[in-house]
Amino acid sequence: MSGRQDSTASTVSAAVAPASLAAWLAHLESLHPKGVAGIELGLERVLLVKEALGQQLHCPLITVAGTNGKGSTCAYLEAIYTFAGYRVGCYSSPHLLSYNERVRIDGRPVSDALLCAAFSKVEAARKACAEVALTYFEFGTLAALEVFAAQEVEVLILEVGLGGRLDAVNVYPPDCAVVTSIALDHTEWLGSTREAIGFEKAGIFRAGKPALCADPDPPASLIAQALAVGADLQLLGRDFGYFGDQTQWTFWGRGGLRRGGLANPGLRGRCQLRNACAALAAVESLKLRLPLSMSAVRRGLIELDLPGRFQVLPGRPAIVLDVAHNPQAVGELADNLAGMGFFARTLAVVGMLADKDLAGSLAPLAGKVDHWLLANLDVPRGASAAALAAVVTASGLGGEIECLPSPAQAFARSAKLAGENDRIAVFGSFYTVAAVMRSLQNGH
C-alpha cells in the first residue's frame, strides 16, 4: 500500500522504543503541548513526517468526512468490501474501549505489536524532522498508514478526525471523498456557520475524483469548492438517493441505476438509511477498480455491529447507548427514541465536553426525559454536572435532575431508579458511553 525510503529504515533501527502500547500512547500524549486533547489543524507537520517515511498509496482510498454519520458510513464500507473478499484497512476515531479500535483490518482491531512497530517508525521519522511536535491524532494517523502498508491492504478507508481541509488524513489524496452531513459542531476550529463548515469539509475533494455529499441541504460553499477543484460532485437527491418502506429499500444512482430489494441496515436509527446510501454511492463510484457482488453489499449492510450508535442492549429496562454529542445528532437520537414504542419513563445519563453547544444539544429532548442523571466528565475539556444542570433548568427541558461525580456513578444510579418498563438513554460524549460500557462489562 505504501513505499518508504531506505534511509528511514536505518533511522528506525536506532530509535529507542517504549516497551508497550500503553507506554507509546503516553509518549504520544507528551509530544504536543496540548496533550491528548490537543487540536492544532494544519498539514505541514504531517506532510513533513509523511515524506520522511516515504509513504505512498498503492490501493484505492475512500475518505469520509461529516459532522455526523461518518463513523457509520466507514463501517458500512468496511463491511461491504470485507465481504467482497478484499483486504480492508479502516482508520477511525475516537475509540471507545481500546486504542486498537482505531486501526482495523477486515473489521478487526490490529494487535499491540503492529501498532508499536508502526509507532517506532513514525517516531524515528519525526526525530529526523527536527522532532516536530505532532499531535496525538497526527502521530496516530501516520502510524495507521504504516500498519496498512505492512499488511498490504487492498482497500483503504479513512475517517476524518475534524473538519477535512486541514485534518491529518487529508495528506492522503482520496480516490473517492464522502461528506455525510454538515451541521454546527467544533465551531471554534471550523467556523460558526454551515457555510464555513461546508467549505472545510469540502477540502477533501480532489480534481476529477468522485465527491459525494449525502447532506440533503448542502451548503453553497461545499458545491462551490467542488466546482473550483474540478471534482466529480454527486449530490443526494440529484445524482443518487434512496426510497423504500419499513421492510426494504432501493438505492438509485446515475444513468437509471437501481439496486432494489435491500434489507434495512443493521445499525439502528432513521439516519442510517442515508449513511448506507452514501456508502453505496461510494461503492458504485469505484466499481471499475473494486468490483463486487450485490451479495457482498447486502451482507455488509445488515451484518454489521458498531457500538455506541443507537445501540439498544437486550433486557429490561431498555438501555440505549449513543455517542450523540451535538444538536443534529441528539435530534436524531430523540427521533429514534420516539420510534422505539412506549416506555413508562425515560432516564438520561449525560456527560458532555464543555466546548460543545450544551443548550443546543439537549434542546431536542425537551419534555422527553423524566429524570436527568448528569455526570462530571473528568477529561480535558469536560463539562461539570452542575453546568449541565444549569442548562436543563434554564432551557426548561423538564424532568427531575441529579448531579453525579462520573458517568459510571450516574449510570449506577439510573439502574437503581429504573423499572422494567423504563428505558435509560446514555449519550453526550464518547467518554460517557465508554465509561458506561466499562461499567457494564464489569457487571455494575
Q: Which cell goes with 419?
A: 423499572
Q: Nearest to residue 350, comparing CAs of 436, 293, 253, 427? A: 427
- Considering the domain architecture, whether residues 201 and 229 belong to the same structural domain is answered as yes
- For 439, the 3-state DSSP assignment is helix
pLDDT at 267: 86
End position of a domain, from candidates 302, 324, 339 = 302
**Is 424 part of a structural domain of the chain?**
yes
- Considering the domain architecture, whether residues 329 and 295 belong to the same structural domain is answered as no
* CB neighbours of residue 293 within 10 Å: 11
pLDDT at 187: 59
- Considering the domain architecture, whether residues 321 and 292 belong to the same structural domain is answered as no
- Considering the domain architecture, whether residues 179 and 32 belong to the same structural domain is answered as yes
pLDDT at 99: 97
CA distance 418 to 346: 8
**Is 1 part of a structural domain of the chain?**
no
Q: Which cell goes with 48?
A: 513533513
Q: Nearest to residue 336, comparing CAs of 312, 356, 360? A: 312
Which structural domain range is residue 242 located in? Answer: 6-302
pLDDT tens digits for 27-69? 998 887 664 455 677 899 999 999 999 999 999 999 999 988 9
End position of a domain, from candidates 271, 302, 333 = 302
- Considering the domain architecture, whether residues 229 and 335 belong to the same structural domain is answered as no
CA distances from 363 to 29, 68, 196, 343, 381 (A): 34, 17, 23, 20, 21
- Considering the domain architecture, whether residues 333 and 265 belong to the same structural domain is answered as no
CB 183 within 8 A of CB 40: no
- Considering the domain architecture, whether residues 360 and 250 belong to the same structural domain is answered as no
* Residue 65 one-letter amino acid: A
**Is 405 part of a structural domain of the chain?**
yes
Between strands 88-91 and 103-105, the pairing is antiparallel
**Is 246 part of a structural domain of the chain?**
yes
**Is 426 part of a structural domain of the chain?**
yes
pLDDT at 38: 57
**Is 339 part of a structural domain of the chain?**
yes
CB 430 within 8 A of CB 96: yes
- Considering the domain architecture, whether residues 287 and 319 belong to the same structural domain is answered as no
- Considering the domain architecture, whether residues 279 and 317 belong to the same structural domain is answered as no
**Is 186 part of a structural domain of the chain?**
yes
CB 351 within 8 A of CB 375: yes
- Considering the domain architecture, whether residues 255 and 357 belong to the same structural domain is answered as no
Identify the CATH number of the domain in which residue 346 sits: 3.90.190.20
User: What is the number of alpha carbons within 13 Å of residue 38 lying toward its C-beta?
Assistant: 19
**Is 212 part of a structural domain of the chain?**
yes
| Residues of the chain scoring pLDDT < 70 | 1-16, 33-39, 185-187, 189-191, 444
pLDDT at 10: 35
- Considering the domain architecture, whether residues 215 and 130 belong to the same structural domain is answered as yes
Helices (H), 35-86: 44-53, 70-83
Secondary structure (DSSP) of 2-15: ----HHHHHHHHT-
End position of a domain, from candidates 266, 281, 302 = 302
pLDDT at 15: 46
- Considering the domain architecture, whether residues 193 and 68 belong to the same structural domain is answered as yes
Provide the number of structural domains found in the chain.
2
